[in-house]
Each structure stands twice: as C-alpha cells, then as structure tokens.
Amino acid sequence: MNEKFLNLDPQKQARIIDAALQEFGEQGYEQASTNRIVKSAGIGKGMLFYYFKNKQSFYYYLLEYSLDLTLKDFLAKVDMEEEDFIERLYQMAQVKLALFDKHPDMMNFLGTFMLANEHNLPKSIQEKYEKIQVLAHQKMFDGINYQLFRQDVDVKKAFDLIRWSFEGYQNELKAKLQGKKFNEIDLTPYWEEFYDYLKLLKQVYYENEEGK
Amino acid sequence: MNEKFLNLDPQKQARIIDAALQEFGEQGYEQASTNRIVKSAGIGKGMLFYYFKNKQSFYYYLLEYSLDLTLKDFLAKVDMEEEDFIERLYQMAQVKLALFDKHPDMMNFLGTFMLANEHNLPKSIQEKYEKIQVLAHQKMFDGINYQLFRQDVDVKKAFDLIRWSFEGYQNELKAKLQGKKFNEIDLTPYWEEFYDYLKLLKQVYYENEEGK
DNA sequence: AATAGATTGACCATCCTGGTCTACTTTTGC
DNA sequence: GCAAAAGTAGACCAGGATGGTCAATCTATT
C-alpha cells in the first residue's frame, strides 16, 4: 500500500474503501471487479493501482482495516463487568448492531470472508485474525458468574444453547430487515421483543426465586 | 427440457445432474459455467443444449428436481406421530442429515438458492417452493403436545429458542465436518453429543417430575 | 447399405478481466 | 509567473471465459 493513500482527503478515502468493501463483500475476491470499484468510488482506474500494488494487496489492506475496526469498535466496547452471561450477550448484540448500522458493508465483507475461510493469508493477517477470535471468545465467557445458572444444568452446554438462540434471533432479524437502512427504522420494538426472549432464557436456565 | 434426457441411461443422467448441482451450488447461477459442467459430466457441450433449451431452463429443471426430492425424501419422511417437539426436531435433523449424506451437492445447491432468494422464478416453481415452505412449517409444528412444556413458559417463544439452538448445533457440526464425506465418518459420537444437548433442553423447557 | 438419431468439440461474437502507460491537470516551491 | 513535481484519468492491451451453434462424425437399426 502506497502512503499516498493515507494522505488522501478522508472522504475520498472512505469512498474508495466503502466501494471496495461492498464489491468484495458481495462478489467475493475472485469475482470482484476492480473496474466496478473505481467506477463506484468515482476515481480513475489508474489511481487504484497507484495506491495499491495490485488487487490482492488491496484486498489484504481492506481485510486488515476491517479487523482493526472490529477490534476497536466492537470487542473493545464490551463491558466485562457484566457477569450475567445472557446480559453480556445482549450487550454484545447491541454493540454489534451499532457497528452494523455504521459500517454495513464492512460487516458484510467480514462475514463473506469468514465463510470463505481462505488459508493462504499473509502471516501477519492470519495472526491478527486468530488473535481476534481468541479475544472474542474471552469477551464472551471471561468473568461470567456461573452461580446464576440452575444447579442441575451443565453450564458449558447451556452456554452453547443460549449462544445459538442468540445467533438465531439475530439471523432472523437480519433477514427480516434485509436491504433496509437502520436509520430509517425504529428498532425499539425489536429490542423489546429480543428482551422478551431473554427473559424466557433466564427463566429456564437460571436459578429463580421459589415463590413466584 | 427435451424428453430425450429422461430416456438417458440413469447413470449418465445422474452424472449430468450431479455435475450441474455442484457447479450451480458452488458458483451461483451467473457464475456457473456450462463448460465446466459438461466437462465434469463427461459429455460434449452440444448435448447439454440438446437436452435443455439454454442455461436458464436447465437451472429451473434442477431446481424443480431438487424441490421434488426434498418433498419426497425429507418432508414425507417426518413422523407426525411424535408429539414431543424436541424429539420431532431431532428426528427431522436425522432425516435431513441422511439426505445430506446421499445428495450433498443437491443440499448445497438448495441452500445457495435459498440464500440468494431470486424473485423472477416461473410461477409453477415459485408455487412449489412456497408450498414446500408451508409444509415444512406444518411438519415442524402440527400435532405437537404443548403440555410437555413448563406451565410458566411462553411456548411460542420457546419453540423459537429451541429451534435456533438446533440450527446452531447443526451449523457448527456442518462447519466441523466440512469437506469430509459422511460415509468415512462415524457419526455416532456426534449424535450422542447432540442428544446430550437435547436432554438439557428438555430439562429446562419441559415440566419435569418434582422429586428428582 | 441406407437412414435416422445421437454425439462431439471446434468455433463464434461478445464481454470482461487485472493491469499499464501516456497524456493531461493541479499543486508546489521559488 | 513558471518550471518541476505530484496527482489523476481512462483508453488500451493481451488473455481468457462466456453461452450457444452447427457441420461433421459416430452408432444402431432396419
């Protein structure tokens, strides 16, 4: 990557990055077209290969950019004081959705990347990716209070079942809101509905006071 | 579709269908290459366009073929006598996995198709597709005994949470076994692990005898 | 041997690709 | 004010892939 790119007008920089994230996210690496990217970004073809050596190194730059942003705007914002597993997940879902709101193309790009699980990444990126996965695991499980759970349940397995329930709701919501822009939608009813599900999860998995 | 195709040696027929399902499933409609399909099927290019008018009608044929097979080998085999929701889902998962074992390319093809949700389908296929979705819903929920659930839980919501847990396990299993052939793997440990999760689900969502 | 059906793959026009490079414009330094 | 430097555009390139056609060949049946 050419340092000239970083000295660019941030708006232009963002236009290029966004156009590329969208193209790579929708088409995958092979099928993504640099022609479409430059047209959508409103720059000449020459500039892209002035800033970046070639398609591949451009892709790697975007990957690193996205991983850094995930680290800074998602994982770093998880409140580790929350000891309640379900509340912790709820909180993570909220932060994640906020990130989805701000950078939808980037989230889609990362999603496509993770699905495709490429193996021939440069070592530095591979390491960063693995480090993030470890961190995500910690952010989800470290400091969780096991005592909240019913004593007769296998907590490790309960973690999985609850996590899957969360993923299911988020997937269904994502499918339902497909194509709509978040800022045009009032999300509060969905958060309320979500929280109803959480109440039920707590009701069945947690130790509740006897006299209810 | 030319009737000549149906009079073909079934093995050859299957080779063509399998090659195409694999190609369309992996690449999607646009990116799928008829050249690769004929090469992989071991037939000349001309034959494909002798049997089928063009790429699109070939694709529609495959779609209909897959939907019919889903109906016959998946949905028709669900035992509606099973009133226990969790057991019903478990049974469906088993039938589904058997189908995955027998026709992995077809399952992948259908999965890709559903993700891409094309809207400009011929009416007849669109209707078949919708009919199958309705039927799948019935196979999952009709005849379920609500009395098994704890009286303090919202059963409708519990259905969702449990269903999502199932999907989560199946997705994780699919990712873990990615690329391996089922017949080379002893699946029993996974079914046992799966059943452990089910025991936990029953434990928390169902009404259990008091003196435990 | 003649005919009819089945089958092949070279061929076609078209399109798109990643990447280059020349020519042009804008900014900078003095 | 002007020359040198930096920034920018897009026509252009060779290569390759695409869906689809069709004349030529092969095979089986009479």
Q: What is the pLDDT of residues A85-134, one digit of tens each?
A: 999 999 999 999 999 989 999 999 999 999 888 888 999 999 999 999 99
Q: List the end-to-end C-alpha distance of chain A, in Å, as a whole number.
A: 62
Q: Token pair for residue A182?
A: 């978040």
The one-letter code for the residue type at A62 is: L
**Confidence label for A212 from pLDDT (cuts 50, 70 and 90):** very low
Cβ within 8 Å, pair B160-A152: no
| Tokens 């000891």, located at residue | A83
DSSP H or E run through A46: helix A45-51
Q: Return the SS3 of B81.
A: coil
Using a 7 Å CB cut-off, which residues contact strand D?
A 4, 7-8, 42-47, 50; B 32-36, 45-46, 49, 54-56
At B1 the pLDDT is 80
- pTM attached to this predicted model: 0.92
Show Cβ contacts of residue A185 under 8 Å, excluding neighbours closer than 6 positions: A177
Q: Return the SS3 of A149.
A: strand
| Cβ neighbours of A201 in B, within 8 Å | 161
Point out the least confidently predicted range of B115-124, B132-141, B148-157.
B115-124
**Confidence label for A211 from pLDDT (cuts 50, 70 and 90):** very low
Q: Which of A164, A196, A209 to mutate to test the interface with B (most CBs of B within 10 A)?
A: A164
Question: Of the ranges A38-52, A113-127, B178-192, which is most confident?
Answer: A38-52
Q: Are A23 and A37 in contact (CB under 8 A)?
A: yes
Cβ within 8 Å, pair A164-B164: yes
At B210 the pLDDT is 56
Residue B193 CA to residue B199 CA, distance in Å, equals 10
**Average pLDDT score, chain B:** 94
Q: Return the SS3 of B192.
A: helix
In this complex, the nucleotide whose C1' atom is nearest to the CA atom of residue A5 is D7
| Tokens 């949700």, located at residue | B117
If you write DSSP's letter for every residue of A68-104 in order, what string do you get? Answer: HHHHHHTGGG--TT---HHHHHHHHHHHHHHHHHH-H
| Whether the predicted pLDDT of A198 surpasses 60 | yes
Q: Which chain A residue's Cα is nearest to B152? A: A203
Point out the least confidently predicted range of A21-35, B70-84, B198-212.
B198-212
| Whether the predicted pLDDT of A43 surpasses 70 | yes
